[in-house]
Structure 1
Amino acid sequence: MSRCENTKNVFEIARPWACGFGSGAVDILLTFPVNKLMFRQQLNNYTPSQAINALKNELKPLPFPRNVAHLYRGLIPPTFNRCLARMFTFGGYYNFKEIYSKADYLQNHVNIVNLCAALTSGTIESIFCCPFERLQTILQDDKSNRRYQNTWHLVKTLPMREYYRGIRPIILRNGISTFIYFQVYDKMSEITDNLFIRGAFGGIVATCYAYIFNVVRARQQSIVNSKESMLYRSTLFTLRVIFKERNNELHAMYRGFRFALLRTSMSWGITTWFYHKCYTYLKESDIS
């Protein structure tokens, strides 16, 4: 194989990773405030109006631009997290899909190939992104506003072993969510060619599966007391505690779900549109 062909193959592999990174950056900058409201509903059992009013009360006494800085407090961890996550969602999924599709025993099993690719990329994504989700969770919790001044203060304070708190529900969430998203995205091509709509629907269906794992993760990762956090190591135990705290009401477990669907439709619509436009541009320009 010539040097030119080797370079071209590297570009082909790198292209979905680069476009995934870019789509993640654009996504988080546009949807971060909605994500903050949704998160506080998940964690504190707020209604939508309570979450909005609580955030308003925090911002009201602050002058511009401090109020904007406070609104985007904790942006750095989710920016890294979202960029890495989208890199694995697209780059990891498509690369692993190509690898698995070459296996003789999977030649005629497209859905199994897709599932294996999604589970592999989702698991690796969990390992890389869990520390950023941990930081993001603590910084978005209004109870931590006075305890930690900023991201770097938290990084210096949090013990290394605590960065992977909550990784179990993240692993349970990521792989299947990735599989659902791509399955719905592909099926939607029979109805519409609109990238935003296809991505939005894929994200919405994936969120319906993933939401309860996010509730569990938020509780586990919001705890900064090491002794208390040991009690919440089990995903099932944490789920039972939250369910009991919310008066054994199933609908209360889905606090923030409406915000989640709004954020997800925006997030995955933007991500999908940007990714495919970026990918097409780089491919036509022969740039990686």
Structure 2
Amino acid sequence: MAAEPRNSPRYCQSSPLLTETHSDLKDRINSFDESSDCKNDNAHFFCGAGSSAINIVLTFPVNKVMFRQQLFGFRIQKAIQQMRREGFIRLYRGLPAPLLQKSLSTSLMFGLYHKSHHVLRYEWRWNNTIATLSASVFAGTCEAVLTPFERVQVLLLTPKHHGTFKSTYHTLTTLHCYNSGVKEYYRGLSAILIRNGFSNAIFFGLRKPIKQLLPKADQGTVKNSVNDFISGAVIGAICSTLFYPINVIKTRMQSNVGGEFLSLKQTYILIYNERGRDLRKFFRGCHVNIARSFLSWGIINASFEMLLKFFYNVKS
């Protein structure tokens, strides 16, 4: 029996690679590259937690100085002198709580975004922009399960509750005893959902485009890490400015215990009236937060890429 010509219709129908469009083939290649880049499904979870831990350890003393300025109204020199008198042993006192919360939060942020984006983009064939936005919001929504940790930190930093709540553990184990029960752990959830979803969308949407605007650098070089730092820092500064009023509202919502649960709108109106109906007063302390976010997100973004390259020899 004679062999069938290679250009016959039946031969082409049985060879899907020959009938694929250029776009389909490109998506197939990208999907293969991304799958091979992430043989360990937990890579982005691990590197997200690691990058956050590095950031907390490096910036904890800076954040401590800023906190004392906010709490006592000290000038920076006096705050540093006070900490120097306390000694190095107490420099990292209070580190475990933010280290645990931020590491878990950043782990979920990077890990869930990567996994959900891969499914939406390469398995469900969604448009890349829609996949990025959807995966970002999904990751931010899942991060909200850690709301009780933020709630506890706000209560411990609120002066009127200093005599009521003694520690992180004490707060976590007694907060449900108030009249709202378990709901008390989730005051401010609506503000957190808005902040997390939109800030994640901005971060993952602009992360690569901003880096592409910077001078090109080879992977694994110091220059490339600097580019990662700059792109993360710029986005951190943008997000901290845009969502600062949301954080102000969230903090006010979470500083109360018992009583009525005020909505986002009700809390906004309350603060707006208290501050002389001046929107600019929602941004008090914003410059300090911008500086902190610029440094923190630069470190997180750069160290995330370095950890991914060092442990898994891949880039995100």
Give the TM bin, normalised by the shorter chain. Answer: 0.7 to 0.9
Letter aligned with residue 289 of structure 2: A
Q: Distance in 1 between matches of 2:228 and 2:183?
A: 40
Give the aligned residue type for 1:151.
Answer: T
Residue 158 of structure 1 aligns to a residue in which SS? helix
Given the alignment, which residue of 266, 283, 286 partners 2:312?
A: 283
- Give the counterpart of 1:135 among 125, 146, 152: 152
Q: Which residue is 1:118 aligned to?
A: 136
How do residues 178-197 of structure 1 correspond to structure 2 at under 5 angstroms? Answer: 178-192=200-214, 193=224, 194-197=227-230
Q: Tell me which structure has the larger Cα radius of gyration.
A: 2
- 2-structure distance, mates of 1:235, 1:78: 25
Relative CO higher for 1 or 2, CA cutoff 8 Å, sep ≥ 6?
1
**In the alignment, which residue of structure 1 is the partner of 2:295?**
266
8 A contact 2:187–2:261 mirrored in 1: no
Segment drifting more, 247-256 vs 189-198: 189-198
- Shift of the 105–284 alpha-carbon distance from structure 1 to 2, 3 Å rule, reads closer
Which digits, 9 at most, give the CA deviation of each residue in 1:250-280, with x for residues without a partner? 1110111111111101110110111100000
Evaluate the alpha carbon distance shift between residue 120 and residue 80 of structure 1 in structure 2; reply closer, same or farther with a 3 A threshold.
same
The 1:284/1:60 distance shift into structure 2, 3 A limit, reads: closer
Aligned pairs for 1:1-288 within 5 A: 11-32=39-60, 34-35=62-63, 51-52=73-74, 64-65=86-87, 68=90, 72-73=93-94, 75-104=95-124, 106=126, 109-127=127-145, 129-159=146-176, 160-192=182-214, 193=224, 194-224=227-257, 226-227=258-259, 230-232=260-262, 234-284=263-313
Distance 1:34 1:163, change over 3 A: farther
Q: Is the 8 A contact 1:137 1:221 kept in 2?
A: yes
Shift, 1:19, TM fit:
0.4
Q: Structure 1 residues 105 and 282 mapped into 2: Cα distance closer, same or farther (>3 Å)? A: closer
In the TM superposition, residue 206 of structure 1 has moved relative to its aligned partner by: 1.9
RMSD: 3.1
CA spacing shift, 1:263–1:118, aligned 2, 3 Å: same
TM-score with structure 1 setting the length: 0.80
CA distance in 2, matches of 1:62, 1:50: 16
Say if 1:80 and 1:61 are closer, same or farther in 2 by CA, change over 3 A: closer
Please state how far the C-alpha of 1:146 moved relative to its aligned partner.
3.5
| Cα deviations by residue, 1:212-255 (Å, 9 ceiling, x for unpaired) | 2111111111112x01xx242x0011011111111111111011
One-letter amino acid matched to 2:155? I
Decide whether aligned partners of structure 1 residues 123 and 141 sit closer, same or farther in structure 2, where only a CA change above 3 A counts: same
Q: What percent identity do the matched residue pairs reach?
A: 30
Q: Could you tell me which runs of 5 or more consecutive residues in structure 1 were left unpaired when the two chains were aligned.
A: 1-7, 41-46
SS in 1 for 2:151: helix
